[in-house]
């Protein structure tokens, strides 16, 4: 009796193993939308390519994807999509958006095979993007004082001065953002204004135009958002101090697609630290304010360095140039001469700048030299060149000026 049960079980196992093998070997056909492609799009594209979000078309249904097949193949092969600027091998960042070579190849063979839909029953369930405030309701929400409608015919960089209602210093562990009009809000950078200077520039709550920075002095960065980004809590025990009485100056980049814009009222959500604050997050920058880029120079190199005066841990990094910027990298040269690559952005685009958070903070001993190196194209060939004909360019916050700066968040 026992023996028969055993033999029966063995038979069942062998049967399924064989069936499984048959399935594996017996599926040499091209990838299908329902099976492979839909899953790649869910995991890597739909955070932006869904109705109402930043990308100009959705990539959800078979029809969506088939309509764009050739471009999808091209843009993923060139690694233009999903947009992710830092190159591999310099910095290990949170939230990396980089397709595996396998996924790129699957997309290519799917398109080459004529984009088969496959069997609808293979489709995954729809992906839940968690809506707004994926971490739950923030402790404090800072909203633009009034709603604002950006121009429909050009990009607008606008700063809004927002008061913070609090009777004491706030210690922030996570910052999240709720773009009002997801289709046009391209990035958000909030700054801490401890002097109240921003209130004078933003007289009626509808903001003021600001391109390269906040246009006020001594403004520390509070965070950064770009499409598709998710809130990243700071390491445990680390927090940002928002001093009592400070205002938040929020820079928003609006980018209209096909001349369409909506009404925006973007919000910042602050999550206060629940644990004891052991380390304060500070910001500093390695930069070169003496930069000079002669008219016509196609590949001008600008370097800036600083020496670290304490043992520090770098938590995040934010490379920043304007429209002439081609590439930027930051290296840390340790006292023993070892070079630690911090970040490398080989194809810089002003439209896709970002604040990158290290998966593990990078320890740098006192005496380390941080070096930022940017390359600039100030020739006619640069279609983004704001000066036609090209002019000599120096440091400044206007779109016709340049910057060479890497901001970084660190703890001591
Ligand atoms: C972080 C947001 C984001 C993610 C993630 C993203 N896209 Fe995009 N995509 C955009 C935006 C925005 C545009 C419009 C062009 C622009 O502003 O650069 C775009 C444009 C495109 C285009 C048209 C490009 C052209 O000029 O013809 C294709 C094709 C595309 N995306 C495919 C993809 C695919 C495939 C994925 C996933 C593998 C993906 N995108 C992931 C934001 C995103």
- Closest ligand 1 atom, CA of 352? 18
CA of 82 to the centre of ligand 1 (A): 6
Residues 340-392: pLDDT tens digits?
Answer: 999 999 999 988 888 898 999 999 999 999 999 999 999 999 999 989 899 99
What is the arithmetic mean of pLDDT over 60-68? Answer: 97
Tell me what pLDDT residue 19 has: 45
Tell me what pLDDT residue 17 has: 46
Tell me what pLDDT residue 305 has: 98
Of residues 50 and 375, more confidence is placed in 375
CA of 396 to the centre of ligand 1 (A): 31
Residues 70-91: pLDDT tens digits?
Answer: 999 999 999 999 999 999 999 9
Residues 312-341: pLDDT tens digits?
Answer: 999 999 999 999 999 999 999 999 999 999
As a whole number of angstroms, the distance between CA 189 and CA 382 comes to 26
What is the arithmetic mean of pLDDT over 208-224? Answer: 83
Among the listed residues 294, 311, 304, the one whose alpha carbon sits nearest the alpha carbon of residue 329: 304
Two structure tokens written together for 359: 């998966």
Tell me what pLDDT residue 214 has: 80
Average pLDDT of the chain to the nearest whole number: 89
pLDDT band at 133 (very low <50, low <70, confident <90, very high): confident
pLDDT of residue 123 exceeding 60, the answer is yes
Buried b (16+ CB within 10 A) or exposed e, 247-257: bbbbbbbbbbe
Residue pair 276/394 in contact by the 8 Å Cβ criterion:
no
Tell me what pLDDT residue 211 has: 81
Category of 265 on φ-ψ map: left (φ > 0), alpha (ψ -120 to 50) or beta: beta
What is the arithmetic mean of pLDDT over 163-191? Answer: 91
CA of 41 to the centre of ligand 1 (A): 11
Of residues 130 and 406, more confidence is placed in 406
CA of 77 to the centre of ligand 1 (A): 13
The CA distances from residue 367 to 50, 312, 363, in Å, are 47, 10, 12
As a whole number of angstroms, the distance between CA 345 and CA 86 comes to 5
Pocket of ligand 1 (CB under 6 A): 44-45, 47-49, 54-56, 68, 71-72, 75-76, 81-83, 97, 99, 227-228
pLDDT of residue 7 exceeding 60, the answer is no
**pLDDT cut 90: percent of the chain above it:** 67
């Amino acid at each position: 009796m026992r023996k028969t049960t055993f033999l029966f079980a063995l038979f069942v196992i062998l049967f399924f193993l064989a069936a499984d093998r048959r399935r594996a070997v017996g599926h040499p056909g091209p990838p299908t939308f329902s099976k492979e492609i839909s899953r790649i799009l869910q995991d890597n594209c739909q955070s932006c390519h869904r109705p109402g979000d930043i990308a100009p078309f959705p990539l959800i249904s078979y029809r969506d994807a088939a309509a764009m097949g050739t471009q999808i193949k091209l843009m993923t092969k060139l690694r233009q999509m999903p947009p992710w600027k830092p190159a591999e091998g310099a910095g290990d960042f949170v939230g990396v958006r980089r397709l595996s070579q396998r996924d790129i190849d699957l997309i290519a063979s799917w398109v080459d095979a004529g984009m088969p839909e496959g069997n609808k029953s293979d489709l995954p369930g729809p992906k839940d993007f968690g809506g707004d405030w994926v971490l739950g309701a923030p402790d404090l929400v800072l909203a633009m004082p009034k709603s604002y409608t950006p121009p429909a015919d050009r990009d607008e960089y606008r700063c809004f001065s927002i008061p913070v209602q609090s009777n004491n210093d706030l210690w922030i562990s996570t910052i999240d953002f709720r773009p009002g009009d997801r289709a046009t809000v391209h990035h958000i950078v909030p700054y801490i204004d401890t002097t109240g200077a921003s209130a004078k520039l933003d007289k009626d709550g509808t903001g003021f135009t600001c391109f390269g920075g906040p246009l006020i002095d001594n403004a520390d960065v509070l965070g950064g958002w770009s499409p598709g980004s998710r809130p990243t809590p700071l390491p445990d025990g680390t927090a940002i101090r928002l001093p009592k009485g400070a205002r938040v100056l929020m820079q928003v980049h609006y980018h209209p697609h096909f001349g369409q814009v909506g009404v925006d009222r973007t919000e910042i959500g602050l999550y206060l630290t629940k644990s004891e604050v052991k380390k304060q997050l500070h910001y500093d920058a390695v930069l070169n304010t003496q930069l000079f880029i002669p008219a016509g120079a196609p590949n001008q190199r600008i370097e800036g360095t600083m020496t670290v005066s304490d043992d520090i841990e770098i938590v995040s990094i934010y490379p920043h140039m304007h429209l002439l910027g081609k590439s930027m990298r930051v290296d840390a040269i340790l006292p023993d001469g070892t070079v630690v690559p911090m970040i490398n952005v080989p194809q810089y685009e002003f439209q896709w700048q970002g604040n990158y958070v290290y998966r593990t903070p990078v320890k740098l001993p006192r005496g380390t030299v941080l070096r930022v190196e940017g390359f600039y194209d100030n020739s006619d060939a640069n279609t983004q060149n704001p000066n036609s004909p090209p002019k000599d360019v120096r440091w400044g916050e206007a779109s016709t000026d340049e910057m060479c700066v890497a901001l970084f968040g660190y703890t001591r």
